[in-house]
Amino acid sequence: MLQAYVFDAYGTLFDVHSVIDAAEREYPGQGATLSRLWRAKQLEYTWLRSLFGQYRDFWEGTRSALEFACAVLGLACPQVVQDRLMDEYLRLALFPDVIPALDELQGKTLAILSNGSPHMLAQVVASTGLVGRFSAILSVDEVGIYKPSPRVYELASTRLGIPKDRIAFVSANYFDVAGAKAYGFYVYWLNRSGAPADELGLKADKEISNLRDLVI
């Protein structure tokens, strides 16, 4: 009965930690630590801004998170370094299971629903060769609040014109899994690392370890 597959972007299709190599070039020995802290603070800022009711787009929040992470680690972060690291978000690596899975889902309605700002999503989709793969690339910019707000998930149902119980939502981020399930999607949790589920009282309909499992 599922009529569409809607994918989270960051951490699901695109590897946010593919920035490690660039971070390591700038800060030898600190690349992985910086990437982890940067990502954690990036997400934290989305949740806080949603609660504050003071939306700023994901590009701005990502830069603020980078500045914070560098400050915590005692790393100088001049504008030119910031710009080089920020540009890595426009050309993140694809996870290796993405293309095979999308090939097998060819002919189905596919979309992206992401915290990313429109220009970030457009550029990373182009840089990874995914142009034309999706019926819609949807950004939280349209509703001015971040996941896991129900308003974000409603955007997919509204824009695709498909009832929420006919949409499969796919994410590797458990806060996103829980939010999508609370909204009423059929939810796949992409658990590549075998992590335990968060104790939120909301579980995915199906747990998978590889995107190709969507079509098995």
> Which residues are part of the catalytic machinery?
8
Q: Of 103, 161, 127, nearest to 14 (Cα)?
A: 127
User: Which H or E run includes 169?
Assistant: strand 167-171
- CB within 8 Å of 91: residues ≥ 6 apart: 123, 124, 127, 128
Question: How far apart, in whole angstroms, are the C-alpha atoms of residue 179 and residue 96?
Answer: 26
Task: Determine the length of the chain.
Answer: 216
Reported for 43-47, long-range contacts at CB under 8 A and 24+ positions apart, including other chains, are: 43/173, 43/175, 46/115, 46/146, 46/147, 47/146
The CA–CA distances, whole Å, from 200 to 172, 193, 197 equal 16, 19, 8
Helices (H), the chain: 20-26, 31-52, 58-73, 79-88, 98-104, 118-127, 150-160, 174-183
Q: Of 43, 8, 45, 37, nearest to 20 (Cα)?
A: 37
